[in-house]
Amino acid sequence: MSRFSEKAVLVTGAARGIGLSIASAFSAEGAEVFIADLNKEAAEAAAAEVSAATGKRVRGLAVDVSDSGSCSSCVGEVVAGCGKIDILVNNAGITKDNLMLRMKEEDFDSVIAVNLKGSFLMSKAAARYMLKARAGSIVSIASVVGQTGQAGQVNYSASKAGIIGMTKSMAREFASRGIRVNAVAPGFVRTPMTAGLSEEHRAEMLSMIPLGREGEPEDIANAVLFLSDDRTSYVTGQVLAVNGGMYM
């Protein structure tokens, strides 16, 4: 039996990039996976892709993580389909970079609304069911810039630092009910979000990484599965840095 057989897993922002890799990894390990994304068609297409590769049923759902009603409906669909939700992965995120003095207020607000508030709303919706079951795992995707800061990313850095603080607070609140809450903080990872960087910027980033390479989405997926595994049931409130040594 695969290690996540009979587990119901919901991954947000999973139509591409790191989220898609996470969903694929869970499906390959036997989980019943739900791919949630703002674009339902993209979510359903990603679900079909993963299902074809793993032979497991995978379903695509629409969700606006910045809207509490949408989050509740999304989690409700998972529970309606499986009778439970075992694992939530908060991966949905956006960037709207600019230097602080040039950053529009609405660009700050929208990044916080999706990245930080979205993780809060999804966790709250899932926790209602996990608390009744007295079991569950929540893993949120933070970032190395939430630990170090980054010029031009005040909004994104703040949102990811907030996820780290929120993870630790939720872990303390939910531990007595058997729910574990952890985070993964990726470094420089090859994704559609980083594909548009100039070669100069890419070389600058690589020079800061002791392992001398970009991370792959699979590196992050492996960390998420590690934290979600029943074999790490004594791990909660932790931030697992997956950054090639970029920040230690």
CB 56 within 8 A of CB 7: no
Out of 3.40.50.300, 3.10.180.10, 3.30.1370.160, 3.40.50.720, the CATH code matching 8-242 is 3.40.50.720
Residue 123 has pLDDT above 80, yes or no: yes
pTM of the model: 0.97
Q: What type of residue sits at position 85?
A: I
Task: Taking residues 120-128, report their average pLDDT.
Answer: 98
Give the active site residue among 129, 156, 234, 247.
156
Give 35-64 pLDDT, tens digit per residue: 999 999 999 999 999 999 999 999 999 999
Note if 234 is an active site residue: no
Whole-number pLDDT of residue 198: 80
Residue 197 has pLDDT above 80, yes or no: no
Whole-number pLDDT of residue 199: 85
Task: Taking residues 194-210, report their average pLDDT.
Answer: 85
Task: Taking residues 102-114, report their average pLDDT.
Answer: 98
Sequence-distant (≥ 6) Cβ neighbours of residue 23 within 8 angstroms: 9, 11, 14, 33, 35, 46, 47, 50, 58
The mean predicted confidence, pLDDT, of the chain is 96
Give 149-190 pLDDT, tens digit per residue: 999 999 999 999 999 999 999 999 999 999 999 999 999 999
Whole-number pLDDT of residue 191: 83
Of all residues in the chain, what percent carry a pLDDT higher than 90? 93
Q: Which residue in this structure is represented by tokens 């029943």?
A: 230
* Beta bridge mates, 240: 184
Q: From CA 246, how far away is CA 240, in angstroms rounded?
A: 13
